[in-house]
Amino acid sequence: MSREVRECHADERIQEVCREFINVIATCTGDDPKREGLLDTPSRIADMYEFLLSGYKREEEIPKLMSRQFEEEDYNQIVSVTGIDYFSLCEHHLAPFFGKVHVGYIPQNKKVVGISKIPRLVDIFARRLQQQERLTHEIAETLDKYLQPKGVIVVVEGIHLCMRSRGVETPNATMKTSAVRGAFRNDPTLEQKFYEIIKMNNL
């Protein structure tokens, strides 16, 4: 999971690439790359991608986030955080995909993590070039590693603009992925109970 993040003057390089990209489009379409609406576009794109890909630089936050655990006496039921909004970039087309993440886990050794830490964890993994399947797996693996719960389940719903706006153009399609660990994998009734929690919270 660990990645080396290098200082590479990305802002300037992205602006150069975007400026050339705009010039190519203008050459092929007859547009004017120097018109007012496009002059600052490379700079705006660089700023946007710095924000959208900020998750790479935030990976070192994860151990601290997951260390904020609290003791809850004799609590051994499902802890769920559902309806977490996320926004990510498809690594195949650099097109946005976004939706909801639903997380559930069963504590072990009386330890639960602070409720705000799970949405922050989701955001760290979402703010990078992603596949929805990998995003789902990374969230589940991290919770399993740091919380060591009896079980973890992660369900991700995604709206993919690469599919809605091009290609097959299916405006109502939603992709759903899941990752199941421990007790949720071994006991189908627990997994079903979590899906019922998601459904109840969506009412």
Q: In order of start, what are the domains of the chain with their CATH numbers?
A: 10-52 (1.10.286.10), 69-201 (3.30.1130.10)
- Asked whether the predicted pLDDT for residue 138 surpasses 90, the reply is yes
pLDDT band for position 3 (cuts 50, 70, 90): low
What would the pLDDT profile of 31-43 be if each residue is shown by its tens digit? 999 999 999 999 9
What pTM was computed for the model? 0.89
Closest by CA to 14, choosing from 40, 49, 39, is 49
Looking at residue 8, what is its pLDDT? 58
**How far apart (Å, rounded) are the C-alpha atoms in residues 141 and 76?**
20
What would the pLDDT profile of 56-96 be if each residue is shown by its tens digit? 999 999 999 999 998 887 788 999 999 999 999 999 999 99
Closest by CA to 175, choosing from 135, 128, 139, is 135
